[in-house]
Amino acid sequence: MKQRSILALLTLVIFGFSAFAQDINSAIETFNEGNQALQGGNIEMAIEKYKTAKDVAAALGAEGNDIVAAAKKQIPTLYYQLGVQDYRDKNFEKAISEFQNAITFGEEFADSETVQKAKNIVPKLYNSLGNDFFKEGNHEEALANFNKAVELDPNYSRAYWGQGLVLNKMGKDEEMNIAFNKAKELAAAEGDEALVERINTTGQKFFKADGTRLLQAQDWNGALKALEASNKYKADDPDTYYYIALAYNGLGNWEKAIESAKAGLELANGEPNDVKAKFYFEMGNAYKGAGNNTNACEAYHNAKFGKFVENANYEITTVLKCN
């Protein structure tokens, strides 16, 4: 009886060792299959093999630690490589998913280097998606992706730039202005002078267009607000000052109209007389409104060029009866 018990115990021990040997061999074999898949360029299969090998080895305790450690080293890095491949192929949504996996497994396996690299690139992917949706005219999706890029990287100048472009298309000029100014601030801090110039040129153009539209509607105050916003981006456009003079004349603010017309005229220095005529004509209107007929007559005389000849002569001969 005693011999049978000993024999049974020995059988159990031998079976246990056999099962253990099978498990460790299975883990090693599966890990090696992952290596082979990786060498063959099949990263997805390699990741699955490494995951399986890790799980099998983890159940073996200390004996499986080496395999667990080796698999943990591979998995986040390989997800990152998949993300890079998809990024290069412009498959941005899939790339985001792969980089998120790199972050998730990198944090779980204490691979801080891979985590940081992935975190640095994900906002750029959302920005790229935003650009794609913007080109397609899908402004809601474009804005959502630019917003996500900013959420992940609050110092990402180009994502704010993208926000501003979309917000302009959506008719949200005040929000556009905020986004553009933030983009410009960050770009300046980064030394990205090309982006600063692009923002200034675009902001000037957008607000100038808005101002001229409001002028046509005789919304003088609205036009002034837009045109002054345009000048905050770039104050080197003579026409903007001409439009400002028009708006101030519309409001009866003769002093400001004269000041604006003179500023535009100074910027137009060197231009032909028929280009400068419009500034003199608005200056004449302002002087006339202010009751300064002498200066008004002088301004109208200077405006007698190009398309302003007829109107200037009318003011000189019929309205003011200048000498």
The residue with tokens 């996500």 is 148
CA distance 169 to 176: 9
CA distance 58 to 170: 54
320, 280 contact by CB (below 8 A): no
- Average predicted confidence (pLDDT) for the chain: 91
pLDDT in tens, 35-56: 999 999 999 999 998 899 889 8
The residue with tokens 């100038």 is 208
Q: What is the pLDDT of residue 135?
A: 97
Q: How confident is the model at residue 25 (pLDDT cuts 50, 70, 90)?
A: confident
Q: Is 192 helix (H, G, I), strand (E, B) or coil?
A: coil
pLDDT in tens, 163-178: 999 999 999 999 999 9
Closest CA to 71 of 96, 34, 44: 34
Q: How confident is the model at residue 8 (pLDDT cuts 50, 70, 90)?
A: very low
CA angle 274, 280, 283 (to 5 degrees): 160
**Does the structure show a pLDDT above 90 at 255?**
yes
**Does the structure show a pLDDT above 80 at 294?**
yes
In percent, the amount of the chain with pLDDT more than 70 equals 93
Q: Give the other-Cβ count within 10 Å of 37's Cβ.
A: 18
Q: What is the pLDDT of residue 59?
A: 87
CATH-assigned architecture of domain 237-323: Alpha Horseshoe (1.25)
Closest CA to 150 of 179, 181, 112, 185: 179
Mean pLDDT of 14-42: 74
The residue with tokens 């298309």 is 169
**Contact residues for 215 (Cβ-Cβ < 8 A; gap 6+):** 223, 243, 246, 247, 250
pLDDT in tens, 106-164: 999 999 999 999 999 999 999 999 999 999 999 999 999 999 999 999 999 999 999 99
Supply the DSSP string of 213-243, one letter for each residue: HHHHTT-HHHHHHHHHHHHHH----HHHHHH
pLDDT in tens, 190-205: 999 999 999 999 999 9
- What tokens appear for 290 in the block? 């202010």
Q: What is the pLDDT of residue 10?
A: 34
153, 145 contact by CB (below 8 A): no
Rg (CA), the chain: 36
**Contact residues for 279 (Cβ-Cβ < 8 A; gap 6+):** 238, 241, 242, 245, 261, 262, 264, 265, 268
